[in-house]
Amino acid sequence: MTIPMPQASWRLEFGSRPVDGGIVFRTWAPLASRLAVRIIGDGLFPMEREDDEIFRVLVPQRAAGVDYLYVIDEAKERPDPVSRRQPDGVHGPSRVVDPGAFDWGDHEWHGLALEEYVIYELHVGTFTAAGTFAATIEKLGYLRDFGVNAVELMPVAEFPGARNWGYDGVYPYAPHSAYGGPAGLKTLVDACHRQGLAVILDVVYNHLGPEGNYLADFAPYFTNRYLTPWGDAINFDGPFSDGVRRYFVDNALHWLTEYHIDALRLDAIHGIFDSGARHILREIGETFHAVAQSLERRAHVIAESDLNDVRVINPLEAGGHGLDAQWNDDFHHALHTVLTGAREGYFTDFGRVADLCKALRDGFVYDGRYSIFRRRRHGNSSAGRAGRQFVVFTQNHDQVANTTAGERLSDLVPAEAQKLAAMVLVCAPDVPMLFMGQEFAATTPFLYFTSFIDADLAQAVSEGRKREYEGFLRDRPFSDPQSFETYARSHLNWNEPQDPRHAAILDFHRSLLALRRRHPCLANCRKDLTRAECDETQGWMTVERADPSGCAALLLCNFRGDARSLSLPRGGRSWRLALWNGDPRYGGPAQAANPPAILDRNDRAVALGGFGAALYLTDNCR
């Protein structure tokens, strides 16, 4: 089977599609001898072979909205692997959707450059009380006004039940029905674009969930040649892998074209195995970029990877996979351990201010050095890669739920330390990402939750989750992922931003992000124009950010709980204070001593209170 390169007029050719005179059903099923479509309440329609692996049929005088199942070899009835909608869940029939029926209003939207992104990660089901795409739209003005411009949605592909993080999805083309289905997601994306917000979608190409996963009945989508935490790996390089690769490449293009998604975040690519000459990650990136370019849109592919392998983001001409960026866990671990003292699990490799300095200067902290946690050397150098290729964060869904039993950074450190962390994040020469609620120090936890229908599977997930994270849990209570209470507790409390204590943190983030937006030295993602110095014994760090415009910034950080004197970097500049985390306007203690409003070029040191941070700018920053 030959797989053509996508063209400017690319469209999804598999699944069901209304056409003049009826509905075309087309599927890849090399394991089937015979295939038919059963339209619910209508009849059975045998499919013809288009070639040795593809079946097709035109069912006349039918339109979008009908439900159907495929019948394999007159024995198994299964939903469509390329279903665009599963209205009755993962075990029910698929529904025909007209991909061209939505009336888009984002015709003037062409996307944002990656270095412009300020990302806000959210889980649709717990971001609002209603937990829907429509309810998320009601909060877009709030997100825009406090300073983010890119909304990252945790996976929305149809999963079992109504409660799930989304990583157990089994219909990669179908937005979850409980959230609002295809029309709901398109309406959300359209609304984001109208408000100047890009949309990143988290997609899972390393596995499918265990319940409702019927792909293996159609084709060899999985292989036991590789071991993954989720069982058999996706078959990207074995027999019949051409069709498997097309399935996932098509999925990426499906989100880009039918849903106008601006960027994909590829989950856990260290669980993707491909020994072929053209790695599947390269193929996804190349085709995604080609179609985006043909549409005159800026669109990006961002990886999650624990490999610390710069080949993921190296350009194609340098032998890399050519992805645009990747999450940098090392930044999180370095900052988290310095502030909290955490040393469980993989945190044992961190805990030094010097690690944070290295993350700011280079990207990867572990770039070939020995990892105590892994008991081997880990990673390679990313020093030569641009800052826009690293997404950094102080919290995300994994780090909140998996390492602190749902506790947020605001539960672990005092308010000044939270604001210190925010200043390091936003002033880093990278792409910053916030996790929903951290901007107002939400007190609600974010826990792992599921709603599997299969009772045995549900019990196994609960028991396995408890075993997997007992090293992090210590004396924290265990929250059963199958419990509705676990899900309910994870919803944000939108009364909190009106509380004075939370409003002060929110105002601080608003002011901090406004500074980043206004001054190019904070937003240019230029690692080569960044200088970070630290004193491990005294626990302080200074970060200088420069820009060709001449505007420069100086961030002073005290990571200790008591007052410290910080040595200023040499260079003969004068600086004026732009933001201080102890300012009473942002909830700082009234008796706190202000850092100097002006730093003279002859000053050599500055005193900061416990967990103090101060951001200075040069006079030519306007």
Positions annotated as catalytic residues are 267, 304
Q: How far is CA 158 from the centre of its chain?
A: 18
- Cα(251)–Cα(169) distance, integer angstroms: 13
> Rounded distance, CA 407 to CA 601, Å?
43
> What letters, b where the CB count within 10 A reaches 16 and e where it falls short, cover 110-121?
ebbebbbbbbbb
Residue type, 481: P
Q: What is the 3-state secondary structure (H, E, C) of 432-470?
A: EEEECCHHHCCCCCCCCCCCCCCHHHHHHHHHHHHHHCH
Decide: 182 and 223 in contact? Cβ < 8 Å: no
- How far is 130 from 515, CA to CA, in rounded Å? 33
Count of CB atoms situated within 10 Å of the CB of 617: 22
| Euclidean distance between CA atoms 514 and 501, whole angstroms | 20
Element (H, E) at 94: strand 94-95
Angle (CA) 41 46 50, round 5° = 135
Nearest-angstrom CA–CA distance, 466 and 447? 12
Taking the CA atoms of residue 258, residue 263, residue 267 and residue 270 in that order, the dihedral angle to the nearest 10 degrees is 120
Report the alpha-carbon angle 242-245-246, nearest 5: 85
Q: Which secondary structure element, helix H or strand E, spans residue 265, and what is its range? A: strand 263-266
d(CA 137, CA 124): 10
How far is Cα 540 from Cα 606, in angstroms, rounded to an integer?
11
Half-sphere exposure of 500 toward its Cβ, with a 13 Å CA cutoff? Answer: 4
DSSP secondary structure letters along 124-193: HHHHSSS-SHHHHHTTHHHHHHHT--EEEEPP-EE-SSS---STT-SEEEEE-GGGTHHHHHHHHHHHHH
